[in-house]
Chain A
Amino acid sequence: MAKVVLVLGDDVSTDDIYPGRFMATVLPSETPQYAFADHTAFNARLKASQVPPGSVIVAGENFGCGSSREQAASTLQGHELVVVARSFARIFLQNAINLGLKVVVAPGVEAAEGDELEVAAAAVVNHTRGKTFAMTPLPRARQAIIDAGGLIAYTRSLIIRAR
């Protein structure tokens, strides 16, 4: 069970998640400070460590649309956030899986800030509202990468096997 800390609408762009003006910063160890930098109150809470790991962002359709910048995934991963969205844009979804950011597709999800959410095996449960939302499985093409704990470990296993 975790708290919903941010609720967003459709078409949240990577410019919104990680503004372009911070893109010269690339390393996953350095990107977390700029997460949702233009959502100043939320960014301040993140930086003050007031958002516990596992906290949930709930969004509408096409979360992460736009740029391929991987910072948009690493900046959220750095805070160990979970993103539950009605759908994700392709490149963001792939980046998230590659880096091990927890993403959940729940096409009907409804939540408000402060709600208690549980990501169960096959559904998302909003305990505050007493509602359960079905989950769509992530693209099956990506399952092996998820199982390996991310793309770096997966690719490393492939080059070792090919040696």
Chain B
Amino acid sequence: MGMTVVQKILARAAGRASVEVGDVVEPAVDLAMSHENAALVINQFFEVYKGAGLEPRVWDPSRIAIIFDHRVPAESSKTANNQKKVREFVAQQGIAKFRDIRGDEGGICHQVLPESGWVRPGSVVVGTDSHTTTHGALGAFGFGIGATEMASVWALGVALNVEVPATIQVLVNGRLAGFVSPKDLVLHLIGRLTAQGANFKAIEYHGDTIRLMSTSGRLVLCNMAVEAGATSGIVPADSETLRYLREETGVRDEIEVVAPDPDAVYGQVVEVDASSLEPQVACPHAVDNVKPVTAVAGTRIDQVVIGSCTNGRLEDLAVAARILRGKKVARGVRVLVFPASWRVYRDAMNGGHLAALSDAGALIMNPGCGCCLGIHQGALGDGEVALSSTNRNFKGRMGNPKAEVYLCSPAVAAASALTGVITDPR
């Protein structure tokens, strides 16, 4: 029986010829990523070794990545102390894939890993962050785990007792219309699948729309797979993946492409006609509460957020700059721009996008996650409404349970920044 991409990756990582849905395997981990919560992982790692009579050493420091992105620079002494503890551990264990707080490298983990060439097709990537699904855009199996589970990975080099997930095949054909983006496609998909429709399953993306989509767009689709509950989202590696790795990350060594078998068995097939899609908006307080932008146009907003691990890449900032260039953000609306990494920041600066956004009245923030989850800048007041290109709108998400968050594409966010109400960019 044929295997899906995820089955093939797990079979190889577990040293088996094949695996079936429901099999329990212990895949070797190629890359283990954490951010500030490495402070908790370190705590649990030392707990594992307590009384074991062994010196706590990570299994392979070259396969561990730690990227500071959630609270940069530190907003409190508590965070500063956590970051200090992580720095000491990094030095002690010899972890080279570490990105500290500086303006010439680093950024948000889900951009730093791909753009550094650290994520390869066919690899197993785990991260103490639910959006680790993002890395499936490069044909890897990426999934989120908790801090204690990461401590176990650091000790053993394998993910323990992973159940091989069933796969939903999402088949997307047709050309996206102007100002309709991969974000609109994935919001539409989450609305159809619901917030739990893919729980304990993988989503494998196929079709002409995906084949012609840039890696930047594929990262959006895989980033948000977890909002349908998916263990992982994945785009099987193809010529675009190779182009991205060679041209944009400078990878020179051999890249192996893992493709699904033609007779792979999918638990469910979902077809999407991309050409009929309108811009989409996820309404408060659930990511699967998705409506076409026309249904909520005119809703008053107080804050616009453009950026994050979902939509803070160069093409996102470019489309926002194109809409805002030479114009002014509406009075009474705060516009915050979070590039996904310092490389993106620099490219957007050199391309003139940041100047256009700044001239229009937007605040250019440093790359980081903080605003999206209400932990570092950009918190909302009581009764305020945010329109954001981030990935979650749960109650309390942007720092205040008495506020509301709508999710959208960078184009909808930028068009709405000009009017002060949710606006169709077309």
The 8 Å CB contact of A61, one of B152, B196, B395, B399, is B196
Q: Are B396 and A90 in contact (CB under 8 A)?
A: no
Chain A positions within 8 Å of B, measured between CB atoms, are 10-11, 13, 15-16, 19-21, 23-27, 38, 61-62, 65-70, 73, 87, 89-91, 94-95, 98-99, 139-142, 144-145, 150-152, 154-156, 158-160, 163
- Do the beta carbons of A68 and B129 come within 8 Å of each other? yes
| Residues of chain B with a CB closer than 8 A to A154's CB | 152, 160
Task: Tell me if B's interface is mostly helix, strand, loop or mixed.
Answer: loop
| Contacting residue for A156 out of B49, B71, B146, B401, CB 8 A | B49
30 CB-based A-B contacts, threshold 8 Å: A13-B394, A13-B395, A20-B373, A20-B396, A20-B399, A24-B71, A24-B76, A24-B82, A24-B375, A38-B396, A65-B195, A67-B129, A67-B373, A68-B128, A70-B37, A70-B148, A87-B196, A90-B199, A90-B200, A91-B146, A94-B146, A94-B149, A140-B24, A150-B148, A152-B44, A156-B50, A156-B51, A159-B49, A163-B53, A163-B54
B191 at the interface (CB under 8 A from A): no
- Check A151 against B148 for contact (C-beta < 8 Å): yes
Binary contact track B37-77/A, C-beta < 8 Å → 1, others 0: 10110011001111111100000000000000011000110
Task: List chain B positions with a Cβ less than 8 A from chain A.
Answer: 24, 36-37, 39-40, 43-44, 47-54, 70-71, 75-76, 78-79, 82, 127-130, 132, 144-149, 151-152, 155-156, 160-163, 195-196, 199-200, 229, 231, 286, 373-375, 379, 392, 394-397, 399, 401
The A/B interface has a contact count, at CB < 8 Å, of 156
Closest to A40 in B: B401
A145, B161: Cβ atoms closer than 8 Å: yes
> When chains A and B are docked, how far (Å) is the Cα of A65 from the Cα of B286?
11
Q: Given that A15-B397, A38-B396, A66-B392 are known contacts, is A144 also in contact with B78, CB under 8 Å in the complex?
A: no
Q: Closest Cβ of chain A: how far from B354's Cβ, in Å?
A: 27
Q: Given contacts A24-B76, A68-B146, A152-B148, could you give 15 more A-B pairs where the C-beta distance is less than 8 Å?
A: A26-B40, A62-B229, A66-B392, A67-B129, A67-B392, A68-B128, A68-B132, A70-B148, A87-B196, A91-B146, A95-B146, A98-B149, A155-B155, A159-B54, A160-B54
